[in-house]
């Protein structure tokens, strides 16, 4: 039950003023610029863009500053902002095969066409705190080598030639869009991927990890992980042809999963797919594992009752803005609800006590 009450305006205004002061922090320390966040906290910016479901690094950096580094609050700000934008259209599907790769590794083939390109990775670092970063200093320029110009084909492409992996047949069907129409279950794979790519990284990671530990195991290999920039092309109605309207950085993960065959499918490798805005490799790998786990029905696998196989469980709980909205609302005033609960408990207690007294008297008699 909701009842309008007045009061608290002054307290709220003062709380917000104090919030602004705390956000700024110690004034003797230089203020953090949005451009600095964009450039130097790029992976936080990437996460806010992915979960905010809006690719705009400047806005994501601003949101991080405004949210004092609370990334879910920053995602909330981006989601709120995007509702104010008119939808100008939809792009043609990006061609990740034509990606300008910064990083491209395969855990299944050592010598693959295009090679293993490590890129700017945390892998192979020792995870020891680097105290040099506490002092300001110049960073030496990265090494360069002659750029390769040849194609960097998808691993699944050449497995597919031998019929060893299930094909991913192209289509031009218009995908469902959960930002336009409420998600309905059962969801097709396109809708699931949309929900997971904007889902909370921690949630998707834990779901993926649960499959690795045995709750809906899918025996995944990372066939390929690639990070880089892809052109975004859109048909322009007033021109009658498509132009590139921009470029986005994405991370793509394709898993190759062991599959013994089922009642409906022959033995072959199957696929899980992850595609996420920005350099977000943990999320992309996790997404591909969860995608594969959710495909059990289509592949004729057994439902083991694992959470990661439960579409309703995964899709209805992966969105951190829905989750935090419902979670955090319970801290807001519920005075009237609680008042009625209080009265109910008092009455039940009084009745219970009266009953006990009566039972006591009867026993004494």
Partner 1 sequence: MNTESHNDPSARQRWMSVLAKADPARLAALMPDLPTLEPLRPPEVGAVMVRGRVGATGAPFNLGEMTVTRCSVRLADGTVGHGYVQGRDKTHALRAAAVDALMQTDQAAQLRVAVLDHLTAEADARWALRAAKAAATKVDFFTMVRGEDA
User: What is the C-alpha end-to-end distance of the chain, expressed in Å?
Assistant: 47
* Residue range at the interface with partner 1 (CB under 8 A); choices 127-135, 231-239, 330-338, 345-353: 231-239
| Binding range to partner 1, per CB under 8 A, among 40-48, 131-139, 165-173, 213-221 | 165-173
- According to the binding rule CB under 8 A, does residue 287 interact with partner 1? no
Nearer to partner 1, 134 or 173 (CB): 173
Query: Least Å distance between CB 61 and partner 1?
Result: 13
Provide CB contacts within 8 A for 215, sequence distance 6+: 304, 306, 307, 308
273 touches partner 1 (CB under 8 A)? yes
Separation CA 154–CA 92 (nearest Å): 19
In the complex, the smallest distance separating the C-beta of residue 32 from partner 1, rounded to whole angstroms, is 21
What is the nearest approach in angstroms of partner 1 to the Cβ of residue 69? 22
Where does this chain touch partner 1 (CB under 8 A) — which range of 63-71, 206-214, 229-237, 342-350? 229-237
Nearer to partner 1, 129 or 145 (CB): 145
The residue among 215, 212, 311 whose CA lies nearest residue 255 is 212
> Minimum distance from CB of 83 to partner 1 (Å)?
10
Give the containing element (helix H, strand E) for 44: helix 42-52
What whole-number distance in Å separates Cα of residue 317 and Cα of residue 300?
A: 25
Q: Which is nearer to partner 1, 21 or 188 (CB)?
A: 188
Say how far apart CA 45 and CA 55 lie, in whole Å. 10
Total number of residues shown for the chain: 365
Question: Among residue numbers 172 through 211, which ones bind partner 1 (CB under 8 A)?
Answer: 172-179, 189-191, 193-194, 197-198
Tokens encoding 338:
């609680």
Count of residues touching partner 1 (by CB under 8 A): 85
Tell me if 43 contacts partner 1 by CB under 8 A. Answer: no
Tell me how far the alpha carbon of residue 104 is from its chain's centroid. Answer: 21
- Hey, which residues between 9 and 38 contact partner 1 (CB under 8 A)? none
Contacts of 207 (CB under 8 A, 6+ apart): 286, 289, 290, 293, 307, 308, 314, 318
Question: Sign of torsion, CA 83 87 93 95?
Answer: negative
| Binding pattern for the stretch 120-159 against partner 1, x by CB under 8 A and - elsewhere | xx--------------------xxxxxxx-----x-xx--
Question: Residue 186, preceding bond cis, omega within 30 degrees?
Answer: yes
Decide: is 297 part of the binding site for partner 1 (CB under 8 A): no
Specify the stretch interacting with partner 1 by CB under 8 A; choose among 34-42, 67-75, 109-117, 346-354: 109-117
Find the binder of partner 1 among 48, 62, 75, 275 (CB under 8 A).
275
Rounded CA-CA distance 117/99 in Å is: 13
């Amino acid at each position: 039950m909701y009842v309008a009450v007045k009061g608290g305006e002054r307290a709220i205004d003062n709380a917000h003023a104090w919030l602004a002061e705390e956000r700024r922090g110690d004034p003797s320390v230089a203020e953090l610029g949005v451009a600095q966040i964009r450039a130097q906290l790029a992976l936080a910016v990437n996460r806010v863009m992915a979960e905010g479901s809006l690719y705009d690094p400047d806005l994501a950096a601003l949101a991080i500053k405004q949210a004092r580094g609370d990334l879910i609050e920053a995602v909330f700000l981006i989601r709120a902002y995007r509702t104010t934008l008119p939808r100008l259209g939809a792009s043609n599907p990006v061609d990740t095969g034509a990606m300008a790769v910064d990083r491209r590794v395969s855990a299944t083939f050592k010598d693959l066409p295009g090679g293993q390109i490590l890129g700017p990775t945390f892998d192979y670092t020792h995870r020891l705190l680097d105290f040099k970063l506490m002092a300001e200093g110049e960073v030496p320029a990265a090494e360069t080598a002659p750029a390769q110009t040849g194609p960097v084909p998808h691993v699944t492409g050449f497995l597919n030639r031998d019929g060893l992996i299930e094909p991913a047949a192209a289509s031009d069907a218009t995908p469902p869009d959960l930002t336009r129409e409420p998600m309905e279950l059962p969801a097709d794979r396109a809708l699931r991927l949309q929900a997971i790519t904007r889902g909370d990284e921690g949630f998707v990671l834990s779901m993926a990890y649960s499959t690795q530990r045995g709750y809906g195991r899918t025996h995944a290999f990372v066939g390929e992980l690639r990070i880089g920039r892809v052109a975004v092309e859109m048909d322009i109605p007033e021109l009658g042809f498509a132009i590139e309207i921009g470029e986005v950085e994405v991370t793509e993960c394709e898993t190759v999963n062991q599959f013994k065959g089922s009642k409906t499918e022959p033995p072959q490798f199957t696929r899980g797919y992850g595609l996420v805005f920005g350099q977000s490799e943990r999320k992309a790998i996790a997404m591909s594992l969860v995608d594969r786990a959710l495909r059990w029905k289509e592949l004729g696998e057994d439902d083991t009752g694992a959470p990661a196989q439960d579409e309703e469980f995964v899709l209805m709980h992966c969105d951190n803005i829905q989750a935090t909205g419902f979670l955090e609302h319970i801290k807001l005033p519920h005075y009237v609800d609680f008042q009625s609960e209080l009265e109910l408990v008092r009455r039940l207690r009084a009745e219970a006590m009266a009953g006990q007294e009566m039972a006591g008297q009867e026993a004494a008699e």
